[in-house]
Amino acid sequence: MGLMSGKNARVYIAGYDISGKSNKWTLPMSRAYKDVTCMGLDGHKWYPLLYSDAFNFDAFYDSDADGVRVCLENLRGNTSAIICFLLGTTLGDEAVGGYGAFQENFNISMPITDMLTLASVFKFEEKADEGAVLLFPKATKTSDGSHTVLDQSSASADGAVAYLQVFSCGGDDALIVKVQHSDDNFVGDVNDLITFTTANGVTSERKTVSGAVKRYVRVNWAGTPTYSASFAVIFKRL
């Protein structure tokens, strides 16, 4: 790995891919500290309190049905959006997930000398899941299958979290997306780790699992033929 250009980043909000209409995002992930300085110390002493994670972005106003304006309008008053940030677009690239996102503001700038632009701020519930990886890059699937396996070097014991973003899906497609894990690169050992709720339209979901997670992970999907669904998955060991 090395330095990464910002142009390959992606952001998905509640089943909307707004990457192509936005030009800058920031995730000010912060944590509060209580000053617990007591008598006899020579400098301030701190104790960690709550995380306070947020997501800010700038975008160009567009009136497409799947555009950022529609996405933001639909999220007004929504307090449970699922957001995924991808820092690259290939399997294993770093990603950050956030849930329970609450749209704090939604600003439209309309100057006579410039483009119409949008800016919005979301706050996350609890904390963002930094350190996730892209397990299934956004793609459209029309037949059942599994994606390339991600070898994460070793197994872990503390569970996992995964985020699904479904960008398009028919009303009777019954798309089932799973995260599977294996000890032997799926040669003989194949196990379902996380199964997302069956999708029949644009949706997003965050699911967690506790306990052991095996070394190899992949995404598996199935639908009711004939179907056409576009989706993406990010994953993190806890």
| Residues found near other proteins in the complex (CB under 8 A) | 1-7, 9, 23-31, 33, 37, 41-46, 48, 51, 85, 87, 93-94, 96, 130-131
CA 100 to chain CA mean position, Å: 12
Between 42 and 114, name the residue whose CB sits nearer to other proteins: 42
**What gap in Å lies between CA 27 and CA 22, rounded to an integer?**
14
Rounded to a whole number of angstroms, the minimum distance from the CB of residue 127 to other proteins is: 8
Between 93 and 173, name the residue whose CB sits nearer to other proteins: 93
Rounded to a whole number of angstroms, the minimum distance from the CB of residue 121 to other proteins is: 13
Q: Which of 143-156 are b and which e, b meaning 16 or more Cβ less than 10 Å from the residue's Cβ?
A: eeeebebbebeeeb
Between 45 and 148, name the residue whose CB sits nearer to other proteins: 45
What is the residue whose two structure tokens read 């894990």? 181
Residues 6+ apart with CB under 8 A from 128: 27, 29, 51, 53, 96, 97, 98
Between 41 and 112, name the residue whose CB sits nearer to other proteins: 41
- Cis omega (within 30 of 0) for bond into 113: no
Rounded to a whole number of angstroms, the minimum distance from the CB of residue 61 to other proteins is: 16
Rounded to a whole number of angstroms, the minimum distance from the CB of residue 94 to other proteins is: 4
